[in-house]
Amino acid sequence: MSTTSKGEIMKKIFFVLTVSLIVFMTGCSRQEPNSPNPDGGSGGGVMLKIDRENAPSNVNVVTAVLKKGADSLVGNLDLTSSTSADITFQSVPIGTWHLKVDAKDINNVVVYSGQTSVLVQENSTTQVNLTLVPSATGVGSINLTVTWGNQPTEWTDHYANPIISGNNSSFETGGVRMPRVLLDDGVYKMWFVSLGSSGASSISYATSSNGMLWNRYSNNPVLLPGIGSNGWDSHSITPGAIIRDDSGYKLYYSGTISNSDPTHIGMATSTDGINWVKTPMPILYAGTSWDYLMSCGDVIKIGSVYYMYYSGKSQSNVVKIGLATSTDGINWVKHEGNPILQPSQAWESTGIYSPSVVKIGEVYKLFYANVTNTNIKGFGVATSANGINWVKETSNPFFTQSNTHNNWVDYIQDPSARLINEKVWIYYSGFNPVGYVNSIAVLKHN
């Protein structure tokens, strides 16, 4: 069976709706229950957030019914025409509710159905798993999170994280990390680190039809460290940014000769994303001060100029973010005002790294991580009008390890943001110190 057919079957078997019931205090009312709140307290608003991308092609409408005593709340979502992916109720009392979810086809015939009880409590979050049983074959699941009294979160960690883990091969003894994703002609393509022993690493490749279920390339890794003790990247290489232009693919990567030597940035080119040819020498060399260890984070094009955002680590272990520019994507010049961003907020401790930039309207957003020697391991964001001068959000960090689904990991690292279908997706690494395992996950902006 081909990997493509496996992916299609998985989509049909696992009908996954990520439904977040966010209950927030409100004074207005769009849909009232039939009776007052018997448990005391005022009502709240309930928003059911549904992930439509995993729904099978025969599902057109999703109906959610909440019942408690004489109260009955009904919401419908048309997956084919609705511009949003949520159902909103108002004035929902606390207590135990019965939830029934039906997924219907174009003829309004129920093709998947499931029901369960949901206890809505004040200042409490409850996780409920509900299996939708189809009328024909296959099974599915619904992931339901209920929050009472808090504002809705803007980010949702994917219910099935991690989406890629190490495969126990000799070149992945430390797992996988540092995902870099490109949506290319309708296919999601990922290049990531396969982490071997003693810090050695290579670059592997995977593809996906939806950005969440991934098929590894059968002959990984696709890019190896250089050969020979004098090769500048002979110890390890890590992907930094991937772009595609008229000449094909350009992969910017970091490489070093040992764990203690400087790390430079090189480039490899390819016509298919699998077979790569490296430039013989680095395209951007490490400095002697704040950027002694360099790691490429992202490359974007503003007008006719390429902008490379990279992390720089000094020998005193302070990590900052720098910028280099190029007119051809090959010859680079470091920005004279470097570093353009450095640690300044308490949660960032001694470093920020892994810059990743997307443009939303006329505003650039740079996502980054903090160093992991603090109790908070999280992601922050800064904004800019020109891609050079950045202002950090005062609400940082916007996502931490405590926000991961079911607290699946202790550390979160290496955010890589992409604008997909007008929404920001962040692919990132998760690290579990028990066994020193690295895995790859995805986080979406609602």
pLDDT tens, residue by residue, 200-219: 899 999 999 999 999 999 99
> Which pLDDT does position 42 carry in this prediction?
44
Mean pLDDT calculated for residue range 93-107? 80
pLDDT tens, residue by residue, 324-374: 999 999 999 999 999 999 999 999 999 999 999 999 999 999 999 998 777
51 pLDDT band (50/70/90 cuts)? Answer: low
247 vs 4, which has greater pLDDT? 247
Place of tokens 């606390």: 94
Q: What tokens does 356 get?
A: 């990743």
Q: What is the largest CA-CA distance in the chain?
A: 78
Nearest to 186 by CA among 421, 423, 11, 422: 421
Mean pLDDT calculated for residue range 35-50? 50
According to CATH, the topology of domain 3-152 is Immunoglobulin-like (2.60.40)
According to CATH, the topology of domain 164-445 is Tachylectin-2; Chain A (2.115.10)
- Dist. CA 407–CA 412, nearest whole Å: 11
Cβ burial of 368 (10 Å; 0-12, 13-18, 19+) is buried
100 pLDDT band (50/70/90 cuts)? Answer: confident
> Which pLDDT does position 331 carry in this prediction?
96
> Pairing state of beta strands 71-78 and 363-370?
unpaired
Q: Where are the domains of the chain?
A: 3-152, 164-445
What percent of the chain has a predicted confidence (pLDDT) above 90?
51
